[in-house]
Amino acid sequence: MAAITAEELERLNLPGKRTELVRGQLIVREPASWVHGDVVVSLTLAIGGHVKANKLGKVLGAETGFTLFRNPDTVRAPDVAFVRRERVPDPPPQGFAAIPPDLAVEVLSPGDRPGEVRDKVVDWLRAGCSLVWIVDPIKRIAHIYRANETNTFIDKDGVLDGENVLPGFTLPLKDVL
């Protein structure tokens, strides 16, 4: 199968499907579940409220594409993304942003395979993302990965912390699960 580009992905029209491009190969998934959507909206509202109140930058909704690598192209689309004010492209891109977000949040679905999730985390961090949250609503846990190669596990009684990426942001995990 021939590699496709980020620009070709932008022109694809696959109604009702979620797509990403990984090293030139199209990845197509079914629409997300109710639980997944509920957790994504809860996280988006909490992060978005904090970002807006503190004028920190932009929060982008589920499935916003970011071109992380070229030749072959990789376009990832987190469930929630945050870009710091000083890094927000001006003017805003009409297609995929050619920058990584500062924070990428992935909410797991039952069909997500561990190797695929690991690959997403590696891609986000290699591209320059500072903080990656992997939230598992079924197991009621989250894994936090940082650009400095440290990571943390929190259970349902733990707190998501924006650290230096989202200063002042904290959110009990149980509030979104």
Average pLDDT of the segment spanning 40-53: 97
Would the pLDDT of 1 be above 80? Answer: no
Would the pLDDT of 173 be above 70? Answer: yes
Pairing verdict, β 74-76 and 66-69: antiparallel
Q: In the chain, what are the domains?
A: 33-175 (3.90.1570.10)
pLDDT in tens, 122-164: 999 999 999 999 999 999 999 999 999 999 999 999 999 999 9
122-131 per-residue burial string, b: 16 or more CB within 10 A, e: under 16? ebbbebebbb
Q: Are 48 and 72 in contact (CB under 8 A)?
A: no
Average pLDDT of the segment spanning 113-124: 92
Would the pLDDT of 2 be above 90? Answer: no
Would the pLDDT of 38 be above 80? Answer: yes
Dihedral, CA of residue 78, residue 84, residue 86 and residue 91, to nearest 10: 40
- Whole-number pLDDT of residue 11: 85
Would the pLDDT of 17 be above 80? Answer: no
Average pLDDT of the segment spanning 38-54: 97
